[in-house]
Structure 1
């Protein structure tokens, strides 16, 4: 249950960091790229943990 909440929270942070406001257009996609990478890492860890922790 906690993993699901963490994944949802990271997804919302990813959406919130997209450069859509005028003051954040100079940032580029670095904030959302970093959060996207973090979301992918958490998803992989959650899926590996669900399988029992063995990697073939």
Structure 2
């Protein structure tokens, strides 16, 4: 359960970093790249890891 909450939190943070304001439109998606990589890593670990019964 905590891993799912972490994945949701990371996804929401990723959405918050998307350029929405005119002054940040020139930045592109660069600021969210590191957080996107972290989100991808967490999602891969969520789905690859064997689940305990």
Report the TM-score, using the length of structure 2 for normalisation.
Answer: 0.78
Number of residues paired by the alignment? 51
Structure 2: unaligned runs, 5 residues or longer: none
Give how far 1:20 is off: 1.1
Query: Which runs of 5 or more residues in structure 1 are unaligned?
Result: none
Question: Structure 1 length normalisation: TM-score?
Answer: 0.75
**Greater RCO (CA < 8 Å, at least 6 residues apart):** 2
Q: Which runs of 4+ in 1 moved over 3 A?
A: none
Q: CA RMSD in A?
A: 1.4
